[in-house]
């Protein structure tokens, strides 16, 4: 079992050293896999990736081209709420420099919508080590009915299991540029 801090170090190290081209190809491949997994979903909670993360731009473009409604998170104090986004122009740098919805008076309430979730490291049983702020943990505690889909580079999926806290949410699926991992909690 890996402590989360150790898992985070391994996850960070795993994504280093990739060229911009490798990152782009990985993001395109993962987007195709995830769109296929989502099937007929008409609403998806997603996120705008940071430069070193597996890119979500191709994923968002693919969802929008299929008419899928998307909502992205905006940090508000210690909480994170999702607001509908229809184009990249709806985003602006927010908390910690992360692109987030620039406007929106009311967060969306989309029960059961798949939630594409970032993280620094994942394990094959759905364990996740995030960035340590607890935003996704608090979100899933408030809205537990969303299927959780980890989205990361394949090299961020660790062989050893991550030691989770009681409040941590396991992922239902993990999608990388190379594979889709069913973590034993199929939601389809």
Binding-site members for ATP are 4-8, 128-136
What is the CB neighbour count within 10 angstroms for residue 39? 8
Q: How far is CA 157 from its chain centroid?
A: 13
| Separation of alpha carbons 188 and 177, rounded Å | 21
Q: Which residues are annotated as a binding site for substrate?
A: 53
The vertex-151 CA angle with 160 and 133, nearest 5°, equals 80
Q: Note the residue count of the chain.
A: 188
Q: How would you label 88-114 residue by residue, b for 16+ Cβ within 10 Å and e otherwise?
A: eebbeebeeebbbbeebeebbebeebb
Ramachandran angles phi, psi of 187, nearest 5°: -110, 0
> Residue with structure tokens 């391994």?
10
Q: Which residues are annotated as a binding site?
A: 4-8, 53, 128-136
DSSP 8-class letter at 139: H
DSSP 8-class letter at 66: T
Q: How far is CA 52 from its chain centroid?
A: 13
């Amino acid at each position: 079992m890996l402590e989360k801090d150790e898992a985070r170090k391994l996850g960070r190290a795993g994504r280093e050293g990739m060229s911009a081209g490798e990152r782009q190809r990985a993001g395109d491949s993962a987007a195709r896999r995830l769109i296929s997994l989502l099937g007929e979903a008409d609403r998806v909670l997603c996120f705008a990736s940071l430069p070193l993360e597996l890119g979500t731009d191709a994923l968002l473009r693919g969802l929008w081209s299929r008419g899928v409604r998307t909502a992205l998170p905006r940090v508000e104090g210690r909480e994170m709420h999702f607001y509908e986004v229809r184009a990249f122009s709806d985003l602006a740098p927010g908390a910690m420099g992360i692109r987030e919805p620039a406007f929106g008076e009311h967060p969306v309430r989309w029960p059961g919508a798949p939630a594409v979730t970032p993280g620094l490291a994942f394990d094959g049983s759905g364990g996740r080590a995030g960035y340590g702020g607890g935003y996704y943990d608090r979100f899933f505690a408030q809205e537990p009915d969303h299927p959780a889909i980890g989205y990361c580079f394949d090299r961020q999926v660790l062989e050893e299991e991550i030691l989770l806290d009681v409040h941590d949410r396991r992922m239902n699926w993990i999608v990388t540029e190379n594979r889709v991992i069913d973590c034993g909690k199929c939601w389809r």
